[in-house]
Amino acid sequence: MTSKGPEGEHPSVTLFRQYLRIRTVQPQPDYGAAVAFLEERARQLGLSCQKVEVAPGYVVTVLTWPGTNPTLPSLLLNSHTDVVPVFEEHWSHGPFEAFKDPEGFIYARGAQDMKCVSIQYLEAVRRLKAEGRRFPRTIHMTFVPDEEVGGHRGMELFVQRPEFQALRAGFALDEGLANPTDAFTVFYSERSPWWVRFTSTGKPGHGSRFIEDTAAEKLLRVVNSVLAFREKERQRLLSNPHLKEGAVTSVNLTKLEGGVAFNVVPATMSACFDFRVAPDVDMKAFEKQLQSWCQEAGEGVALEFAQKWTESRMTSTTDSDPWWAAFSQACKDMNLTLEPQIFPAATDSRYLRAVGIPALGFSPMNRTPVLLHDHNERLHEAVFLRGVDIYTHLLPALASVPALASDS
């Protein structure tokens, strides 16, 4: 038995707060401390612990609970260990203190995104093991680095490794978002990040002259084309109450670059945009659209991609799909209302889906404002503990999905 924590606090909450105090904050996360914490969890739970260094200093930690039928593809429970930077002056409590106020709200960077889920997985497994339960499918818990900066030295490399293939994942759970209503959001796909830099070259000269064909005027035409497209998508979202944010393509102007002095007309200027492309968009046609905006702007306008994800996949949410049927039925048994959606941003689920593993994004936090990446990120301890209960029901359902035709 785990003893009660401070002032009779639930031991799962104590563990959660302990994990929140590990400063895995970008751009210099203390990954060593997180791995040591997870190794200790594995030791206490009697789980095997594998450490896979996917890049120098970037370790994926895998905790494994073997199933009774190891020939079946496994259940993968993924979470990331890193958290985004903080502006401490905007926080009412230290972002790495895991301060709990008298009402039970725990303030910390990572409280929602997504250290809560990591501990909920671990505590659900602890409960199930303590009850002597066993399930046909093996359960792997993966704790990955680097997600908050794109997963390029985390999940993106891990899915290409033999150690990942050896896990034989059949289905995965990963992060979702809080939902301020009574419902729980579940994500079956996500938008694709396209980071585009448009660069315009034109005639330079003295700032006092009417110079024709300048870089700035041509770049402005591209910017206007993109912003007109943005407004069209925004109106499409606003005019249809059934559409959620993830179902349309968003774009924001994030950087303008160029110029050397007030009185010099620059020869080169560029504008950077963050597009999030909806999963039903024809990617080739969309890229042609971007190219046509360059051509319409004039000679010497080109684009390049800083990021371009084209492997968009959707996980089935039809009742005939055994994984979805098991997930949704377990939720129904707990009287949870699900809202299936397309994730508006990007998570590590995209790398899992791209290698053919169906994945759902699910962070069981309802009646909770979405505060990921925000100042004063917080989570109520009762919502956190209910999440442990939810996984304690979900994991048996998913780890007991009978053998599928695709499993052989």
| φ, ψ dihedrals at 308, nearest 5° | -150, 100
Interatomic CA distance for residues 322 and 181, integer angstroms: 28
Reported pTM: 0.92
Of 286, 302, 385, the C-alpha closest to 16 is 385
pLDDT band at 1, cuts 50/70/90?
Answer: very low
pLDDT band at 406, cuts 50/70/90?
Answer: confident
Q: What confidence tens digit (pLDDT) does each residue in 51-74 have?
A: 999 999 999 999 999 999 999 999
- CA distances 17 to 136, 140, 259, 288, Å, are 32, 23, 48, 49
How does DSSP classify residue 173?
Answer: E
Mean pLDDT calculated for residue range 182-196: 97
Asked whether the beta carbons of 271 and 197 are under 8 A apart, the reply is yes
How does DSSP classify residue 218?
Answer: H
Mean pLDDT calculated for residue range 341-360: 96
Interatomic CA distance for residues 158 and 331, integer angstroms: 30
Interatomic CA distance for residues 194 and 305, integer angstroms: 7
Interatomic CA distance for residues 99 and 20, integer angstroms: 10
Catalytic residues: 82, 147
Of 347, 311, 308, 351, the C-alpha closest to 54 is 351
Mean pLDDT calculated for residue range 199-227: 97
99-100 and 184-190 strand pairing: unpaired
What is the chain's mean pLDDT, rounded?
96
- pLDDT over 80 at 383, yes or no: yes
Helix segments in 159-241, DSSP class H? 162-165, 215-239
Mean pLDDT calculated for residue range 328-342: 98
Q: How high is the pLDDT of residue 314?
A: 96
Mean pLDDT calculated for residue range 238-253: 96
* Tokens 């895998």, located at residue: 62
Q: How high is the pLDDT of residue 405?
A: 87
- pLDDT over 80 at 190, yes or no: yes
Q: How high is the pLDDT of residue 4?
A: 53
Interatomic CA distance for residues 158 and 152, integer angstroms: 9
CA 353 to chain centre: 13
Asked whether the beta carbons of 63 and 42 are under 8 A apart, the reply is yes
Interatomic CA distance for residues 360 and 337, integer angstroms: 16
Give residue 35's identity as a one-letter amino acid code: V
Q: How high is the pLDDT of residue 52?
A: 98
Q: How high is the pLDDT of residue 6?
A: 59
Percent of the chain with pLDDT over 70: 98
Q: How high is the pLDDT of residue 2?
A: 47
Least-confidence region, from 7-11, 68-72, 253-257: 7-11
* Tokens 């003893």, located at residue: 3
| Torsion sign across C-alpha atoms 273, 360, 109, 36 | negative
Interatomic CA distance for residues 382 and 393, integer angstroms: 17
Residues present in the chain in total:
408
Q: 308: how many CB neighbours lie within 10 A of its CB?
A: 15
Mean pLDDT calculated for residue range 331-341: 98
Mean pLDDT calculated for residue range 240-254: 96
| φ, ψ dihedrals at 354, nearest 5° | -65, -25
Interatomic CA distance for residues 290 and 1, integer angstroms: 60
Structural domains of the chain in order of their starting residue, each with its CATH number? 6-190+312-407 (3.40.630.10), 192-308 (3.30.70.360)
Q: What confidence tens digit (pLDDT) does each residue in 224-235 have?
A: 999 999 999 999
Mean pLDDT calculated for residue range 144-163: 97
- pLDDT over 70 at 3, yes or no: no
- CA distances 365 to 86, 247, 368, 369, Å, are 22, 22, 6, 9
Q: How high is the pLDDT of residue 49?
A: 98
Q: How high is the pLDDT of residue 170?
A: 98
Least-confidence region, from 4-13, 29-38, 97-106, 300-309: 4-13
Of 39, 123, 27, 38, the C-alpha closest to 83 is 27
